[in-house]
Structure 1
Amino acid sequence: MDASRDRAALARAGNPRNNDAVRKYVAEFIGTFVLVLGGVGAAVLAGDHIGFQGVALAFGLSLLAMVYVIGPISGCHVNPAVTLGLLLSGKMEGKDAVGYVVAQCAGAILGAGVVLLIAKGMPGGYSAVTEGLATNGYGAASPDGFNMGAAFLTEVALTFLLVLTVLGATDARAPVGFAGLAIGLVLALIHLVGIPVTNTSVNPARSLGPAVFAGSVPMGQLWLFIVAPLLGGATAAAVYRTVFRPAVPISAEEAERALRREREARIAEDRAGTRAPV
Protein backbone atom coordinates (compact mmCIF):
# COMPACT_ATOMS: atom_id res chain seq x y z
CA MET A 1 0.00 0.00 0.00
CA ASP A 2 2.82 2.41 0.89
CA ALA A 3 4.50 1.77 -2.47
CA SER A 4 1.20 2.42 -4.28
CA ARG A 5 0.72 5.69 -2.40
CA ASP A 6 4.27 6.76 -3.22
CA ARG A 7 3.75 6.04 -6.92
CA ALA A 8 0.47 7.97 -6.89
CA ALA A 9 2.15 10.92 -5.17
CA LEU A 10 4.94 10.94 -7.75
CA ALA A 11 2.41 10.78 -10.59
CA ARG A 12 0.53 13.76 -9.16
CA ALA A 13 3.74 15.73 -8.70
CA GLY A 14 4.94 14.93 -12.21
CA ASN A 15 8.54 14.92 -13.35
CA PRO A 16 10.35 17.92 -11.81
CA ARG A 17 12.60 18.26 -14.87
CA ASN A 18 9.57 18.34 -17.18
CA ASN A 19 7.87 20.89 -14.93
CA ASP A 20 10.98 23.07 -15.01
CA ALA A 21 11.06 22.90 -18.82
CA VAL A 22 7.40 23.90 -19.10
CA ARG A 23 7.94 26.85 -16.78
CA LYS A 24 10.87 27.98 -18.92
CA TYR A 25 8.82 27.75 -22.12
CA VAL A 26 5.91 29.66 -20.58
CA ALA A 27 8.33 32.33 -19.34
CA GLU A 28 9.82 32.68 -22.85
CA PHE A 29 6.32 32.90 -24.33
CA ILE A 30 5.37 35.67 -21.90
CA GLY A 31 8.65 37.53 -22.31
CA THR A 32 8.49 37.58 -26.10
CA PHE A 33 4.84 38.59 -25.97
CA VAL A 34 5.78 41.57 -23.78
CA LEU A 35 8.74 42.51 -26.01
CA VAL A 36 6.54 42.63 -29.12
CA LEU A 37 3.62 44.27 -27.34
CA GLY A 38 5.91 46.96 -25.92
CA GLY A 39 8.19 47.53 -28.91
CA VAL A 40 5.93 46.91 -31.89
CA GLY A 41 3.04 48.43 -29.96
CA ALA A 42 5.04 51.62 -29.42
CA ALA A 43 5.87 51.81 -33.14
CA VAL A 44 2.33 51.17 -34.36
CA LEU A 45 0.25 52.94 -31.73
CA ALA A 46 2.53 55.76 -30.58
CA GLY A 47 5.18 56.13 -33.28
CA ASP A 48 3.82 59.45 -34.52
CA HIS A 49 4.07 60.86 -31.00
CA ILE A 50 7.38 59.46 -29.74
CA GLY A 51 9.44 59.09 -32.94
CA PHE A 52 11.90 56.32 -33.63
CA GLN A 53 13.96 57.31 -30.59
CA GLY A 54 10.95 56.56 -28.41
CA VAL A 55 10.38 53.25 -30.19
CA ALA A 56 14.02 52.30 -29.59
CA LEU A 57 13.60 53.09 -25.91
CA ALA A 58 10.38 51.05 -25.76
CA PHE A 59 12.15 47.95 -27.08
CA GLY A 60 15.03 48.44 -24.65
CA LEU A 61 12.78 49.01 -21.64
CA SER A 62 10.61 46.01 -22.51
CA LEU A 63 13.63 43.74 -22.59
CA LEU A 64 15.18 45.28 -19.48
CA ALA A 65 12.00 44.64 -17.50
CA MET A 66 11.70 41.05 -18.71
CA VAL A 67 15.32 40.24 -17.82
CA TYR A 68 14.45 40.82 -14.17
CA VAL A 69 10.94 39.31 -14.35
CA ILE A 70 11.54 36.04 -16.22
CA GLY A 71 15.34 35.91 -16.17
CA PRO A 72 15.39 33.81 -12.98
CA ILE A 73 13.13 31.26 -14.68
CA SER A 74 14.31 30.94 -18.28
CA GLY A 75 17.24 33.32 -18.64
CA CYS A 76 15.07 35.72 -20.69
CA HIS A 77 16.26 34.89 -24.19
CA VAL A 78 13.01 36.03 -25.91
CA ASN A 79 14.94 35.73 -29.17
CA PRO A 80 15.97 32.66 -31.21
CA ALA A 81 19.30 34.32 -32.06
CA VAL A 82 20.08 34.68 -28.35
CA THR A 83 19.04 31.08 -27.74
CA LEU A 84 21.39 29.95 -30.53
CA GLY A 85 24.24 32.05 -29.13
CA LEU A 86 23.78 30.62 -25.63
CA LEU A 87 23.52 27.09 -27.02
CA LEU A 88 26.70 27.39 -29.07
CA SER A 89 28.58 28.97 -26.18
CA GLY A 90 27.63 26.08 -23.89
CA LYS A 91 25.38 28.12 -21.60
CA MET A 92 22.21 26.11 -22.16
CA GLU A 93 21.18 22.53 -22.81
CA GLY A 94 20.33 21.55 -26.37
CA LYS A 95 17.19 19.72 -25.26
CA ASP A 96 15.58 23.05 -24.31
CA ALA A 97 16.48 25.03 -27.44
CA VAL A 98 13.62 23.92 -29.70
CA GLY A 99 11.03 24.52 -26.98
CA TYR A 100 12.45 28.00 -26.37
CA VAL A 101 12.21 28.94 -30.05
CA VAL A 102 8.66 27.61 -30.43
CA ALA A 103 7.56 29.52 -27.33
CA GLN A 104 9.26 32.71 -28.53
CA CYS A 105 7.60 32.57 -31.95
CA ALA A 106 4.18 31.88 -30.43
CA GLY A 107 4.56 34.77 -27.98
CA ALA A 108 5.62 37.13 -30.76
CA ILE A 109 2.63 36.19 -32.93
CA LEU A 110 0.23 36.73 -30.04
CA GLY A 111 1.86 40.05 -29.18
CA ALA A 112 1.58 41.28 -32.76
CA GLY A 113 -2.04 40.09 -32.89
CA VAL A 114 -2.92 42.07 -29.78
CA VAL A 115 -1.25 45.19 -31.19
CA LEU A 116 -3.24 44.76 -34.41
CA LEU A 117 -6.53 44.38 -32.53
CA ILE A 118 -5.83 47.57 -30.59
CA ALA A 119 -4.78 49.42 -33.76
CA LYS A 120 -8.05 48.50 -35.45
CA GLY A 121 -9.76 50.70 -32.87
CA MET A 122 -8.18 53.82 -34.39
CA PRO A 123 -10.51 56.25 -36.15
CA GLY A 124 -10.82 54.88 -39.67
CA GLY A 125 -9.42 51.50 -38.62
CA TYR A 126 -6.03 50.00 -39.38
CA SER A 127 -4.78 47.65 -42.10
CA ALA A 128 -1.68 45.61 -41.32
CA VAL A 129 -1.11 44.96 -45.02
CA THR A 130 -1.27 48.66 -45.91
CA GLU A 131 0.36 50.17 -42.83
CA GLY A 132 2.91 47.40 -42.24
CA LEU A 133 2.43 46.67 -38.51
CA ALA A 134 6.09 47.65 -37.87
CA THR A 135 7.37 44.75 -39.97
CA ASN A 136 11.00 44.50 -41.02
CA GLY A 137 12.05 44.93 -44.62
CA TYR A 138 14.59 46.00 -47.21
CA GLY A 139 14.39 47.80 -50.55
CA ALA A 140 10.99 49.43 -50.89
CA ALA A 141 10.02 47.94 -47.50
CA SER A 142 12.96 49.60 -45.72
CA PRO A 143 12.03 52.81 -43.87
CA ASP A 144 14.77 54.71 -45.74
CA GLY A 145 15.03 52.43 -48.79
CA PHE A 146 18.22 50.53 -47.88
CA ASN A 147 18.99 47.62 -50.20
CA MET A 148 19.17 43.93 -49.32
CA GLY A 149 22.95 43.86 -48.83
CA ALA A 150 22.90 46.77 -46.41
CA ALA A 151 19.97 45.24 -44.53
CA PHE A 152 21.70 41.87 -44.24
CA LEU A 153 24.95 43.36 -42.97
CA THR A 154 23.10 45.59 -40.51
CA GLU A 155 21.16 42.67 -39.05
CA VAL A 156 24.25 40.47 -38.72
CA ALA A 157 26.32 43.21 -37.08
CA LEU A 158 23.62 44.42 -34.70
CA THR A 159 22.62 40.91 -33.65
CA PHE A 160 26.29 40.16 -33.03
CA LEU A 161 26.39 43.18 -30.69
CA LEU A 162 23.22 42.10 -28.88
CA VAL A 163 24.21 38.47 -28.36
CA LEU A 164 27.79 39.31 -27.37
CA THR A 165 26.39 41.70 -24.77
CA VAL A 166 24.07 39.01 -23.43
CA LEU A 167 26.93 36.50 -23.21
CA GLY A 168 29.36 38.96 -21.63
CA ALA A 169 26.89 40.53 -19.20
CA THR A 170 25.81 37.10 -17.92
CA ASP A 171 29.36 35.77 -17.62
CA ALA A 172 30.30 34.59 -14.13
CA ARG A 173 32.98 37.31 -13.99
CA ALA A 174 30.59 40.17 -14.87
CA PRO A 175 29.26 42.52 -12.15
CA VAL A 176 26.33 40.84 -10.42
CA GLY A 177 22.87 42.33 -10.91
CA PHE A 178 23.61 44.62 -13.84
CA ALA A 179 23.04 42.26 -16.79
CA GLY A 180 19.49 43.50 -17.39
CA LEU A 181 20.61 47.11 -17.56
CA ALA A 182 23.37 46.36 -20.07
CA ILE A 183 21.13 44.19 -22.25
CA GLY A 184 18.20 46.61 -22.24
CA LEU A 185 20.40 49.59 -23.07
CA VAL A 186 22.20 47.82 -25.90
CA LEU A 187 18.85 46.83 -27.46
CA ALA A 188 17.79 50.50 -27.37
CA LEU A 189 21.12 51.49 -28.98
CA ILE A 190 20.69 48.81 -31.64
CA HIS A 191 17.27 50.17 -32.55
CA LEU A 192 18.61 53.72 -32.81
CA VAL A 193 21.03 52.45 -35.46
CA GLY A 194 18.82 49.93 -37.23
CA ILE A 195 15.33 51.43 -37.45
CA PRO A 196 16.09 53.56 -40.56
CA VAL A 197 17.64 50.54 -42.29
CA THR A 198 15.31 47.61 -41.59
CA ASN A 199 12.98 48.74 -38.79
CA THR A 200 15.40 46.62 -36.69
CA SER A 201 14.83 42.94 -36.20
CA VAL A 202 17.89 41.26 -34.56
CA ASN A 203 15.25 38.72 -33.52
CA PRO A 204 13.57 36.22 -35.88
CA ALA A 205 10.56 35.86 -33.56
CA ARG A 206 10.01 39.65 -33.48
CA SER A 207 10.05 39.67 -37.29
CA LEU A 208 7.75 36.67 -37.63
CA GLY A 209 5.03 38.03 -35.33
CA PRO A 210 3.99 41.12 -37.34
CA ALA A 211 4.80 39.49 -40.72
CA VAL A 212 2.12 36.83 -40.14
CA PHE A 213 -0.54 39.56 -40.29
CA ALA A 214 1.02 41.93 -42.83
CA GLY A 215 0.75 40.09 -46.14
CA SER A 216 3.06 38.69 -48.79
CA VAL A 217 5.86 41.30 -48.89
CA PRO A 218 6.98 40.95 -45.24
CA MET A 219 6.60 37.18 -45.43
CA GLY A 220 8.61 37.09 -48.65
CA GLN A 221 11.47 39.04 -47.02
CA LEU A 222 11.28 37.18 -43.71
CA TRP A 223 14.14 34.84 -44.67
CA LEU A 224 16.67 37.66 -44.26
CA PHE A 225 15.44 38.40 -40.73
CA ILE A 226 15.86 34.76 -39.81
CA VAL A 227 19.20 34.02 -41.46
CA ALA A 228 21.05 37.26 -40.64
CA PRO A 229 20.24 37.34 -36.90
CA LEU A 230 21.08 33.66 -36.51
CA LEU A 231 24.40 34.26 -38.27
CA GLY A 232 25.09 37.23 -36.00
CA GLY A 233 24.24 35.17 -32.92
CA ALA A 234 26.49 32.30 -34.00
CA THR A 235 29.37 34.70 -34.67
CA ALA A 236 28.96 36.27 -31.23
CA ALA A 237 29.11 32.80 -29.65
CA ALA A 238 32.32 32.00 -31.53
CA VAL A 239 33.94 35.26 -30.38
CA TYR A 240 32.77 34.73 -26.81
CA ARG A 241 34.19 31.21 -26.67
CA THR A 242 37.51 32.54 -27.97
CA VAL A 243 37.87 35.72 -25.94
CA PHE A 244 35.96 34.98 -22.73
CA ARG A 245 36.75 31.29 -22.32
CA PRO A 246 37.04 30.61 -18.57
CA ALA A 247 40.19 29.03 -17.18
CA VAL A 248 38.05 26.18 -15.79
CA PRO A 249 35.22 25.33 -18.23
CA ILE A 250 31.81 24.81 -16.64
CA SER A 251 29.15 22.87 -18.50
CA ALA A 252 25.66 24.28 -18.94
CA GLU A 253 24.27 21.47 -16.79
CA GLU A 254 26.69 22.25 -13.95
CA ALA A 255 25.89 25.96 -14.18
CA GLU A 256 22.16 25.25 -14.12
CA ARG A 257 22.52 23.06 -11.00
CA ALA A 258 24.55 25.76 -9.26
CA LEU A 259 21.98 28.41 -10.16
CA ARG A 260 19.16 26.21 -8.87
CA ARG A 261 20.98 25.70 -5.56
CA GLU A 262 21.52 29.45 -5.23
CA ARG A 263 17.82 30.15 -5.84
CA GLU A 264 16.78 27.51 -3.31
CA ALA A 265 19.14 29.02 -0.74
CA ARG A 266 17.71 32.51 -1.33
CA ILE A 267 14.14 31.23 -1.00
CA ALA A 268 15.05 29.48 2.26
CA GLU A 269 16.62 32.69 3.57
CA ASP A 270 13.53 34.70 2.60
CA ARG A 271 11.24 32.26 4.39
CA ALA A 272 13.45 32.32 7.48
CA GLY A 273 13.72 36.11 7.38
CA THR A 274 17.49 35.97 7.48
CA ARG A 275 18.30 37.32 4.03
CA ALA A 276 19.70 40.84 3.99
CA PRO A 277 17.63 43.36 2.00
CA VAL A 278 18.99 44.19 -1.46
Structure 2
Amino acid sequence: MEGKEEDVSLGANKFSERQPIGTAAQSQDSKDYKEPPAAPLFEPGELKSWSFYRAGIAEFMATFLFLYVSILTVMGVVKSPSKCSTVGVQGIAWAFGGMIFALVYCTAGISGGHINPAVTFGLLLARKLSLTRAIFYIVMQCLGAICGAGVVKGFQKGLYMGNGGGANVVAPGYTKGDGLGAEIIGTFVLVYTVFSATDAKRNARDSHVPWIFWVGPFIGAALAAIYHQVVIRAIPFKSRA
Protein backbone atom coordinates (compact mmCIF):
# COMPACT_ATOMS: atom_id res chain seq x y z
CA MET A 1 0.00 0.00 0.00
CA GLU A 2 2.86 2.36 0.72
CA GLY A 3 4.22 2.01 -2.82
CA LYS A 4 0.80 2.65 -4.32
CA GLU A 5 0.32 5.77 -2.20
CA GLU A 6 3.67 7.11 -3.41
CA ASP A 7 2.66 6.40 -7.01
CA VAL A 8 -0.61 8.29 -6.57
CA SER A 9 1.23 11.20 -4.98
CA LEU A 10 3.77 11.27 -7.79
CA GLY A 11 1.10 11.09 -10.46
CA ALA A 12 -0.90 13.90 -8.89
CA ASN A 13 2.04 16.30 -8.59
CA LYS A 14 4.57 15.49 -11.29
CA PHE A 15 2.59 17.01 -14.16
CA SER A 16 0.73 19.70 -12.24
CA GLU A 17 2.13 22.53 -14.36
CA ARG A 18 0.16 21.38 -17.38
CA GLN A 19 -2.70 19.35 -15.92
CA PRO A 20 -5.37 20.26 -15.14
CA ILE A 21 -5.64 23.03 -17.69
CA GLY A 22 -6.61 26.44 -16.37
CA THR A 23 -5.57 26.13 -12.71
CA ALA A 24 -1.96 27.28 -12.96
CA ALA A 25 -2.60 30.88 -11.93
CA GLN A 26 -4.59 29.86 -8.86
CA SER A 27 -1.68 27.82 -7.51
CA GLN A 28 0.96 30.52 -7.92
CA ASP A 29 2.23 32.23 -4.81
CA SER A 30 2.92 35.45 -6.72
CA LYS A 31 0.36 37.52 -8.55
CA ASP A 32 2.85 38.18 -11.34
CA TYR A 33 2.15 36.08 -14.39
CA LYS A 34 4.74 33.60 -15.62
CA GLU A 35 4.30 31.93 -19.00
CA PRO A 36 4.12 28.16 -18.43
CA PRO A 37 6.39 26.00 -20.58
CA ALA A 38 4.93 24.41 -23.68
CA ALA A 39 3.97 20.79 -23.28
CA PRO A 40 6.18 18.36 -25.21
CA LEU A 41 4.59 16.34 -27.99
CA PHE A 42 5.58 13.08 -26.35
CA GLU A 43 5.93 12.63 -22.60
CA PRO A 44 6.45 8.93 -21.81
CA GLY A 45 6.52 9.66 -18.09
CA GLU A 46 2.78 10.42 -18.18
CA LEU A 47 2.06 6.77 -18.91
CA LYS A 48 3.42 5.90 -15.46
CA SER A 49 1.28 8.50 -13.69
CA TRP A 50 -2.05 7.66 -12.09
CA SER A 51 -3.28 11.21 -12.73
CA PHE A 52 -2.98 10.53 -16.48
CA TYR A 53 -5.41 7.60 -16.37
CA ARG A 54 -7.64 9.29 -13.81
CA ALA A 55 -8.00 12.25 -16.17
CA GLY A 56 -8.94 9.94 -19.04
CA ILE A 57 -11.56 8.22 -16.91
CA ALA A 58 -12.98 11.61 -15.95
CA GLU A 59 -13.26 12.56 -19.63
CA PHE A 60 -14.99 9.25 -20.36
CA MET A 61 -17.56 9.67 -17.60
CA ALA A 62 -18.23 13.33 -18.40
CA THR A 63 -18.80 12.63 -22.11
CA PHE A 64 -20.92 9.59 -21.26
CA LEU A 65 -23.21 11.63 -19.02
CA PHE A 66 -23.37 14.52 -21.45
CA LEU A 67 -24.45 12.34 -24.38
CA TYR A 68 -26.90 10.38 -22.24
CA VAL A 69 -28.77 13.45 -21.02
CA SER A 70 -28.54 15.49 -24.23
CA ILE A 71 -29.80 12.69 -26.50
CA LEU A 72 -32.72 11.94 -24.19
CA THR A 73 -33.58 15.65 -24.13
CA VAL A 74 -33.51 15.95 -27.92
CA MET A 75 -35.64 12.85 -28.35
CA GLY A 76 -38.07 14.23 -25.79
CA VAL A 77 -38.77 17.01 -28.26
CA VAL A 78 -38.91 15.12 -31.54
CA LYS A 79 -41.17 12.34 -30.24
CA SER A 80 -44.13 14.73 -30.22
CA PRO A 81 -46.00 15.62 -33.43
CA SER A 82 -45.65 19.32 -32.66
CA LYS A 83 -41.98 18.77 -31.73
CA CYS A 84 -42.09 21.43 -29.02
CA SER A 85 -44.83 20.33 -26.62
CA THR A 86 -42.37 18.78 -24.14
CA VAL A 87 -39.06 20.41 -23.22
CA GLY A 88 -38.94 22.69 -26.26
CA VAL A 89 -35.96 24.21 -28.02
CA GLN A 90 -35.10 26.27 -24.94
CA GLY A 91 -35.14 23.08 -22.91
CA ILE A 92 -32.52 21.58 -25.20
CA ALA A 93 -30.35 24.67 -24.82
CA TRP A 94 -30.67 24.57 -21.04
CA ALA A 95 -29.94 20.84 -20.96
CA PHE A 96 -26.79 21.20 -23.06
CA GLY A 97 -25.54 24.30 -21.27
CA GLY A 98 -26.43 23.04 -17.82
CA MET A 99 -24.76 19.69 -18.35
CA ILE A 100 -21.57 21.29 -19.70
CA PHE A 101 -21.53 23.72 -16.76
CA ALA A 102 -21.93 20.94 -14.19
CA LEU A 103 -19.52 18.51 -15.85
CA VAL A 104 -16.78 21.06 -16.42
CA TYR A 105 -17.12 22.13 -12.79
CA CYS A 106 -16.75 18.50 -11.69
CA THR A 107 -13.85 17.54 -13.96
CA ALA A 108 -11.88 20.77 -14.44
CA GLY A 109 -9.58 19.97 -11.54
CA ILE A 110 -8.95 16.42 -12.79
CA SER A 111 -8.65 16.56 -16.56
CA GLY A 112 -9.33 20.16 -17.46
CA GLY A 113 -12.95 19.42 -18.37
CA HIS A 114 -12.55 19.17 -22.15
CA ILE A 115 -15.54 16.86 -22.85
CA ASN A 116 -15.07 17.50 -26.58
CA PRO A 117 -12.38 16.34 -29.03
CA ALA A 118 -12.41 19.79 -30.64
CA VAL A 119 -11.45 21.41 -27.32
CA THR A 120 -8.68 18.86 -26.82
CA PHE A 121 -7.41 19.42 -30.37
CA GLY A 122 -7.33 23.19 -29.89
CA LEU A 123 -5.41 22.91 -26.63
CA LEU A 124 -3.00 20.49 -28.30
CA LEU A 125 -2.26 23.00 -31.06
CA ALA A 126 -1.62 25.63 -28.39
CA ARG A 127 0.81 23.21 -26.70
CA LYS A 128 -1.23 23.12 -23.52
CA LEU A 129 -1.02 19.32 -23.31
CA SER A 130 1.06 16.58 -24.85
CA LEU A 131 0.10 14.58 -27.94
CA THR A 132 0.01 11.47 -25.78
CA ARG A 133 -2.56 12.98 -23.45
CA ALA A 134 -4.57 14.49 -26.33
CA ILE A 135 -4.91 11.15 -28.11
CA PHE A 136 -5.86 9.45 -24.86
CA TYR A 137 -8.48 12.11 -24.10
CA ILE A 138 -10.04 11.89 -27.58
CA VAL A 139 -10.22 8.10 -27.42
CA MET A 140 -11.87 8.21 -23.99
CA GLN A 141 -14.27 10.94 -25.11
CA CYS A 142 -15.34 8.92 -28.14
CA LEU A 143 -15.79 5.81 -26.03
CA GLY A 144 -17.84 7.77 -23.52
CA ALA A 145 -20.04 9.17 -26.30
CA ILE A 146 -20.59 5.72 -27.78
CA CYS A 147 -21.52 4.27 -24.40
CA GLY A 148 -23.83 7.18 -23.58
CA ALA A 149 -25.69 6.78 -26.87
CA GLY A 150 -25.70 3.01 -26.39
CA VAL A 151 -27.40 3.25 -23.00
CA VAL A 152 -30.08 5.54 -24.44
CA LYS A 153 -30.63 3.08 -27.28
CA GLY A 154 -30.92 0.24 -24.80
CA PHE A 155 -33.58 2.04 -22.77
CA GLN A 156 -35.48 3.65 -25.64
CA LYS A 157 -34.71 1.46 -28.65
CA GLY A 158 -37.88 2.14 -30.63
CA LEU A 159 -37.79 5.87 -30.04
CA TYR A 160 -34.04 5.96 -30.63
CA MET A 161 -34.21 4.19 -33.98
CA GLY A 162 -37.26 6.14 -35.12
CA ASN A 163 -35.56 9.47 -34.54
CA GLY A 164 -32.10 8.64 -35.84
CA GLY A 165 -30.63 8.59 -32.38
CA GLY A 166 -31.19 12.34 -32.00
CA ALA A 167 -28.31 13.00 -34.41
CA ASN A 168 -27.80 16.41 -36.01
CA VAL A 169 -28.77 16.89 -39.64
CA VAL A 170 -28.67 19.86 -41.99
CA ALA A 171 -32.12 21.47 -41.89
CA PRO A 172 -34.16 21.74 -45.10
CA GLY A 173 -33.31 24.86 -47.06
CA TYR A 174 -29.66 24.87 -46.04
CA THR A 175 -26.67 23.41 -47.87
CA LYS A 176 -23.88 21.33 -46.43
CA GLY A 177 -21.67 24.38 -46.80
CA ASP A 178 -24.04 26.32 -44.57
CA GLY A 179 -23.85 23.56 -41.99
CA LEU A 180 -20.07 23.52 -42.20
CA GLY A 181 -19.89 27.26 -41.69
CA ALA A 182 -22.20 27.08 -38.67
CA GLU A 183 -20.06 24.32 -37.13
CA ILE A 184 -16.89 26.35 -37.71
CA ILE A 185 -18.33 29.46 -36.09
CA GLY A 186 -19.90 27.57 -33.19
CA THR A 187 -16.73 25.63 -32.47
CA PHE A 188 -14.67 28.82 -32.68
CA VAL A 189 -16.85 30.42 -30.01
CA LEU A 190 -16.62 27.29 -27.84
CA VAL A 191 -12.86 26.87 -28.00
CA TYR A 192 -12.21 30.61 -27.74
CA THR A 193 -14.30 30.65 -24.58
CA VAL A 194 -12.26 27.76 -23.18
CA PHE A 195 -9.00 29.58 -23.91
CA SER A 196 -10.27 32.80 -22.33
CA ALA A 197 -11.69 31.08 -19.26
CA THR A 198 -8.47 29.13 -18.63
CA ASP A 199 -6.04 31.94 -19.44
CA ALA A 200 -3.64 32.10 -16.51
CA LYS A 201 -2.43 35.54 -17.58
CA ARG A 202 -5.94 36.95 -17.36
CA ASN A 203 -6.40 35.42 -13.91
CA ALA A 204 -3.13 36.93 -12.73
CA ARG A 205 -4.05 40.32 -14.18
CA ASP A 206 -7.52 40.34 -12.66
CA SER A 207 -6.14 39.42 -9.25
CA HIS A 208 -4.72 42.97 -8.97
CA VAL A 209 -8.25 44.52 -9.04
CA PRO A 210 -10.30 42.42 -6.56
CA TRP A 211 -13.06 44.94 -5.82
CA ILE A 212 -13.85 46.17 -9.24
CA PHE A 213 -16.98 44.07 -9.63
CA TRP A 214 -18.45 45.44 -6.42
CA VAL A 215 -17.48 49.11 -6.61
CA GLY A 216 -18.34 49.51 -10.29
CA PRO A 217 -21.92 48.21 -10.13
CA PHE A 218 -22.70 50.17 -6.96
CA ILE A 219 -21.40 53.41 -8.46
CA GLY A 220 -23.39 52.76 -11.63
CA ALA A 221 -26.53 52.05 -9.61
CA ALA A 222 -26.07 55.22 -7.57
CA LEU A 223 -25.62 57.35 -10.69
CA ALA A 224 -28.74 55.83 -12.24
CA ALA A 225 -30.76 56.58 -9.09
CA ILE A 226 -29.51 60.16 -8.94
CA TYR A 227 -30.23 60.71 -12.65
CA HIS A 228 -33.76 59.37 -12.37
CA GLN A 229 -34.72 61.08 -9.09
CA VAL A 230 -33.01 64.43 -9.67
CA VAL A 231 -32.97 64.98 -13.42
CA ILE A 232 -35.98 63.06 -14.68
CA ARG A 233 -38.39 63.30 -11.73
CA ALA A 234 -36.93 66.49 -10.14
CA ILE A 235 -38.06 65.21 -6.75
CA PRO A 236 -35.70 67.43 -4.65
CA PHE A 237 -37.05 70.56 -6.35
CA LYS A 238 -40.66 69.43 -5.89
CA SER A 239 -40.01 68.92 -2.19
CA ARG A 240 -38.71 72.49 -1.85
CA ALA A 241 -41.72 73.86 -3.65
> Under TM normalisation by the shorter chain, which class is it?
0.5 to 0.7
How far does the alpha carbon of each residue in 1:128-187 deviate from its partner, in whole angstroms, 9 at most, with x for none? 2x311111222xxx3x442101000000111011000000111014459xxxxxxxxxxx
Residue of structure 2 aligned with 1:43, choices 59, 62, 74: 74
Match of 2:219 in 1: none
1:89 maps to 2:151: no
Q: Give the deviation of 1:13 after TM superposition.
A: 6.0
Q: State which structure, 1 or 2, has the greater radius of gyration over its C-alpha atoms.
A: 2
Q: Distance in 2 between matches of 1:145 and 1:51?
A: 22
Give unmatched runs, 5+ long, in structure 2.
12-45, 79-83, 205-241
TM alignment of 1:12-161, pairs within 5 A: 16=11, 17=46, 18-46=49-77, 48=84, 49-120=86-157, 125-128=158-161, 130-138=162-170, 142=171, 144-161=172-189
Q: Distance in 2 between matches of 1:36 and 1:83?
A: 17
Q: Distance in 1 between matches of 2:99 and 2:4?
A: 38
Match of 1:170 in 2: 198
Identity of aligned residues (%): 38
Give unmatched runs, 5+ long, in structure 1.
1-7, 177-278
Counterpart residue identity of residue 117, structure 2: P
Counterpart residue identity of residue 79, structure 1: N
Q: Is contact 1:45-1:119 (8 Å) kept? A: no
Taking structure 1 as the reference length, what is the TM-score of the superposition? 0.53
Q: CA RMSD of the aligned region, Å?
A: 2.2
Q: Is contact 2:76-2:87 (8 Å) kept? A: no
Structure of greater relative contact order (alpha carbons < 8 Å, 6+ residues apart): 2
Counterpart residue identity of residue 93, structure 1: S
Q: Is contact 1:36-1:112 (8 Å) kept? A: yes
Aligned residues: 160
Q: Quick one: structure 1 residues 76 and 127, their matched pair in 2 at CA, closer, same or farther if it must change by over 3 Å?
A: closer
1:35 counterpart SS class:
helix
Match of 1:179 in 2: none
1:75 counterpart SS class:
coil
Q: Distance in 2 between matches of 1:11 and 1:118?
A: 39
2:58 counterpart SS class:
helix
Taking structure 2 as the reference length, what is the TM-score of the superposition? 0.60
How far does the alpha carbon of each residue in 1:90-115 deviate from its partner, in whole angstroms, 9 at most, with x for none? 22222201000000000001111112
